[in-house]
């Protein structure tokens, strides 16, 4: 796999997602991201489901006829 470049925006978004994580989890995510950028991993760091997404309830929209 070829190494990939990360934009400043992508880096800032990644660091923002690390907030609120445990030290152990941050280390794992940073290592996964480093491997991904180095071409050693096919996918970027796995943050799992977002807390908001996991607890969100579906929104129903009434159709207007």
CA–CA dist 41, 56 (Å, integer): 31
pLDDT in tens, 12-46: 999 999 998 999 999 999 999 999 999 998 989 88
User: Domain-by-domain residue ranges, the chain?
Assistant: 8-55
For residue 3, what are its two tokens?
């190494």
Residues 6+ apart with CB under 8 A from 6: 14, 37
Whether residue 3 is predicted with pLDDT greater than 70 in this model: the reply is: yes
Query: What pTM value is reported for the model?
Result: 0.67
């Amino acid at each position: 796999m070829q190494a990939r470049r990360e934009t400043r925006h992508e880096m800032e978004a990644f660091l923002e997602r690390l907030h609120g994580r445990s030290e152990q989890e941050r280390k794992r995510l940073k290592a996964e991201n480093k491997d991904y950028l180095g071409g050693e991993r096919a996918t970027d760091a796995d943050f799992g489901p977002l807390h908001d997404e996991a607890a969100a309830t579906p929104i129903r929209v009434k159709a207007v006829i």
